[in-house]
Structure 1
């Protein structure tokens, strides 16, 4: 029997980091904790954060600082900065990780798949040819080949030019 070592999964299974434990996207005043929280870039209205429970390595999210679940409540400035951060993030991931494609989207509401439904956020998931295998289908397990902290260190170099 082979073992798949994924120590970060226990936190997810046990519910730590769930919406009930506090909103992970309400980080405006927590700039000193960016590395701990896996925040790669901050703007005036929005920020880029790594997904702690990713579909693939480099799975990022872009969120506004303002706590809202309603897309229609975003200001023009929030929408523009989030879109610019999304485009910058795609370029940074392309430069750092060389994916062959991306999935980009929003899950609005629990029924649509939002794990955290009270604070909207956009997902940017890099994809590689052959990155889908039998594990998610048969075992409900995702294989993430690199530790989150190593991915953060790698990507933080590519995000150092944000805002310049």
Structure 2
């Protein structure tokens, strides 16, 4: 069994525990300009956004617009669209980054690893053979090979192509 080991995220998790944000970043993000918020796609009930603290290049999240902490409280329409956006995310990430696999997950509650535990979201993390190496283990450093904004631009362009193709 592979383990997604990310000790560098402790700084981020600790900062969210120490001071709770005044406003939920997932509620604010879709209201900002997309290139500023890194929102890749807006659906009816949910959206796709780049993760600013990625586990890997291309790490995105699918987030409902409603501020809900648990998937058990989502409607069937919200759940269905979120899974459709997970699928769309995988298609676009495959097109641009050509990963060998994916980790897809939902952390419910802080104890389960949710950095933002009051607004449920689904992580879509591309994985490559050999993408874990000695750097996180020995140096406590994770190497992200591409700037998040550069990845955003590439995924955004591919998303336009994929959506255009599927609508024809």
Asked if residue 152 in structure 1 is aligned to residue 152 in structure 2, the reply is yes
Would you identify which runs of 4 or more consecutive aligned residues in structure 1 move more than 4 Å? 11-16
Change (3 A) 1:58 1:153: same
Cα deviations by residue, 1:1-55 (Å, 9 ceiling, x for unpaired):
xxxxxxxx9x959948x7515211114761x511111110000000000000001
Asked if residue 76 in structure 1 is aligned to residue 76 in structure 2, the reply is yes
Change (3 A) 1:29 1:111: closer
User: What CA distance in whole angstroms lies between the structure 2 residues aligned with 1:142 and 1:13?
Assistant: 16
- Alignment gaps of 5+ in structure 1: 1-8
Per the normalisation by structure 1, the TM-score is 0.85
Q: Choose between structure 1 and 2: higher helix proportion.
A: 2
Task: Note if contact 1:49-1:62 (Cα within 8 Å) is conserved in structure 2.
Answer: yes
User: What CA distance in whole angstroms lies between the structure 1 residues aligned with 2:113 and 2:158?
Assistant: 29
Per the normalisation by structure 2, the TM-score is 0.83
Secondary structure at 2:25's aligned position in 1? coil
Secondary structure at 1:145's aligned position in 2? coil
Aligned counterpart, 2:21: 20
Task: Note if contact 2:100-2:128 (Cα within 8 Å) is conserved in structure 1.
Answer: yes
- Alignment gaps of 5+ in structure 2: 1-8
For residues 6-85 of structure 1, the aligned pairs below 5 Å read 12=12, 15=15, 19-27=20-28, 30=31, 32-85=32-85
Calculate the aligned-residue CA RMSD, in Å: 2.3
Cα deviations by residue, 1:54-111 (Å, 9 ceiling, x for unpaired):
0100001001000000211100110010000000110111111100000001011011
Task: Note if contact 1:41-1:162 (Cα within 8 Å) is conserved in structure 2.
Answer: no
Number of matched pairs: 153
